[in-house]
Amino acid sequence: MKAPQIRTLFTRLREANAEPRTELSYGSPFELLVAVILSAQATDKSVNKVTGELFKVARTPAAIAELGIAGLKPFIKSIGLFNTKAKNIIATCRLLCDQHHGMVPDERETLEQLPGVGRKTANVILNTAFGQPTMAVDTHIFRVANRTGLAAGATVRAVEDRLVKVIPTEFLVDAHHWLILHGRYVCKARRPECPTCAIADLCRFRSKTRVDS
């Protein structure tokens, strides 16, 4: 996709939603970190349900570390991979207390040293909690970027690098959420809603759905 079309694409997404937000509920960078760790292979809705209860009881690294793995598990047992996630969250809380004064770091390298935090999670935290122009490519963004021709790539990292390169600076901080929401609600995996899609004329997907299909 050419630069003027990319600009038009994001202008339209911005017109439809001037202030896109994550659908995870959180009240601090730390709460967002816990929610994002829990969200791997889980829906935002299911994560919000468990964090709603957990954060009533413990909402700081020290308080969750105090719960311990055994104390944390009952809160998160409805989420997939909860055993591993419990271990990672407790280890992360201890590290934050021991090495970062209980604060979530705003640097990629340090974030990626936390248990359960990979590049994608670090990108979400840097972008959503700290307003940095990073791009966390999840399954929705990967699909939208490839279908539209915005940033075609065979791997998540290739798509991430391409998106960061081609998206105009003024759109970059919010682009992550616009693309996720577009993929989640319009450019859906099984049946994209092409007839009502605001960027259909810019999109290069060859198998667009039609009203009567």
> Which residues of the shown chain bind ligand SF4 in the complex (CB under 6 A)?
147-148, 186-187, 192-194, 197, 199-200, 203, 205, 208
Residue 181's closest CA among 3, 14, 65?
A: 14
Please confirm, yes or no, whether 138 is among the known catalytic residues. yes
Closest approach, Cβ 153 to ligand SF4, in A, equals 16
Q: Which is nearer to ligand SF4, 92 or 148 (CB)?
A: 148
The crossing angle, in degrees rounded to 10, of helices 44-57 and 61-76 is 130
Structure token digits, residue 125: 């935290």
- Cα 110 to the chain's mean position, in Å? 19
CB of 13 to ligand SF4, least distance (A): 10
Set 120, 161, 208, 212: catalytic member:
120
Give the nearest distance from C-beta 142 to ligand SF4 in angstroms.
13
- Residue closer to ligand SF4 by CB (options 172, 200) is 200
- Catalytic residue, chosen from 44, 106, 138, 201, is 138
Cβ atoms of 195 and 178 within 8 Å: the answer is: no
If you search the block for the tokens 């970190």, which residue do you land on?
A: 33
CB of 33 to ligand SF4, least distance (A): 31
In whole angstroms, the minimum distance from the beta carbon of 180 to ligand SF4 comes to 13
DSSP result, 129-142: IT--------HHHH
Instruction: Clarify whether 98 is annotated catalytic.
Output: no
Nearer to ligand SF4 among residue 24 and residue 187 (C-beta): 187
Residue 163: Cβ-neighbour burial (10 angstroms; 0-12, 13-18, 19+): buried
Region of residue 41 (left: phi > 0; alpha: psi -120 to 50; beta: else): left
Is the Cα torsion angle 91, 96, 99, 102 positive or negative in sign? Answer: negative
Residues noted as catalytic = 120, 138
